Amino acid sequence: MLNDAEELDAHLKKLNARAAEAKIHLQEFSEQLPGNWEHVVTVAQRCYDAYAALMEARKVAG
């Protein structure tokens, strides 16, 4: 069974991967503008949410 530190580390790695993926998606999306411009807010919000979750988890981790 994993201890708390290992579980936290695994959770942070998962959040970091999710944020990195969102960043790449946002970058790729921006390169395709002005096509699909109506999805800018949705794509940006996903990236924002991923990074907000990661930063909050890092703050809690100390």
pLDDT digit string (tens) for the chain, length 62 residues: 357 888 999 999 999 999 999 999 999 999 999 999 999 999 999 999 999 999 999 998 87
pLDDT tens-digit profile of 29-42? 999 999 999 999 99
Burial degree of 22 (CB within 10 A; 0-12, 13-18, 19+): buried
Determine contact, residues 54/19, Cβ cutoff 8 Å. yes
What pTM, to 2 d.p., does this model score?
A: 0.87
Alpha helices in the chain (DSSP H): 4-31, 40-61
- Quick one: tokens of 50? 């991923």
Selection from 60, 58, 46 nearest residue 16 by Cα: 58
Structural domains of the chain, ranges and CATH numbers in brackets: 4-61 (1.10.287.660)
